[in-house]
Chains A and B, each alone.
Chain A
């Protein structure tokens, strides 16, 4: 029940884009059409679902103060938490390499359209951000980490697909002041959607 709560909260209330503004670079750059946006969303969701539990295990059994106690009593007061940034990013970077190879093999069209943004998932703030939030919040178990990762990923997917759909329509039908076209109007749209998403605040299951 608690995990379901965290899952739903991660999608709507703690939405990566609209509540924390993480992963904005690729969000802004790849949201020109729905199909590509959806593909990137799937990739990010997958990355979050995989990397969050791995990083959770690292945090619990290696990095946290006293986490090494299972090695023997003399390790009980070792605190490696200053290494967490480097280890987290290493896990994420190697996972990205795996996803990249998988996408290249099974969906060359998607691979071509994502271009530089596929390797850049490694530096997508949403993914490292997920791990850092996980560290801050002391999740209870691996399953909580999986649920939170899935929720954050789906929230990101939802956000990028929605904004891509809006941008497609706007580019076709509306008359925007020239200096605002492209990036400018996307910022404003995102802000309005963010304000709308704030109405989810306080949802509890």
Chain B
């Protein structure tokens, strides 16, 4: 990066103005697949924050010793190592959730956010800003994940984190859960709505 950016903007920009999901359009796959319920969304968000922050730090420490030709493989190996740790931890302490997430924990490796941030930021910056960048982008990703998971679980099954929140009186009065929200395509529509709201507030992000 050419100009010097302050640590604060490195940490907070990805929350909204430069959000990895809705502005940079990275890491969409997992946003869509794991957000049918709120709980797996939160776990997935936390896992990505952890992997992103630590892989950023490790790559940033190694950045002067990695030959450019094989950097992708080196990055992948670092990320894969961290993901294996996360996946084993989840299997040990949160087995049900890790069953629900199935292959998607493994797919954190190929989450484009990771490669994108490693290429764009960690390869050119010192460890501490890289750590902040990892946290920032991870949180930006987790925010979107939680919003989508919130709406899909609320509208699709009438629960939040497994607890019933839509009162029984609603059902007696004829309210029905929207089964469509459980299906994966609806996640795309929810993300599209988030993009719509976000871009109508941030005019400079609109495309012609």
List B residues at the A interface (Cβ < 8 Å): 22, 25-30, 32-33, 72-73, 76-77, 80-81, 83-84, 87-88, 102-103, 106-107, 109-112, 114-115, 183-189, 191-192, 195-200, 206-208
Contact = CB atoms under 8 A, between A and B. Distances in A.
A112 interface: no
Nearest to A84: B106
Contacts, number: 137
A20 interface: yes
25 contacts: A20-B33, A21-B28, A21-B32, A21-B33, A25-B25, A25-B112, A28-B28, A82-B84, A85-B109, A89-B77, A93-B72, A93-B73, A120-B115, A125-B29, A128-B110, A132-B103, A132-B107, A180-B195, A180-B199, A181-B208, A182-B207, A184-B196, A188-B189, A190-B185, A198-B185
Contacts of B200: 178-179
Interface residues of A, number: 46
Give the 6 A-B residue pairs with the shortest CB-CB distance, closest first.
Answer: A179-B199, A182-B207, A194-B185, A191-B188, A187-B192, A24-B28
A23 B56 CA distance: 23
Most buried by A among B29, B76, B77, B199: B29
A120 B87 CA distance: 23
Nearest to B205: A179
A122 B25 CA distance: 18
B110 A124 contact: yes
A94 B25 CA distance: 26
B187 to A, nearest CB: 8
Nearest to B74: A93
Given A25-B26, A192-B185, 16 more contacts: A85-B83, A86-B84, A89-B77, A89-B110, A122-B72, A124-B110, A125-B29, A128-B106, A129-B103, A132-B106, A177-B196, A179-B198, A180-B196, A180-B199, A191-B187, A198-B183
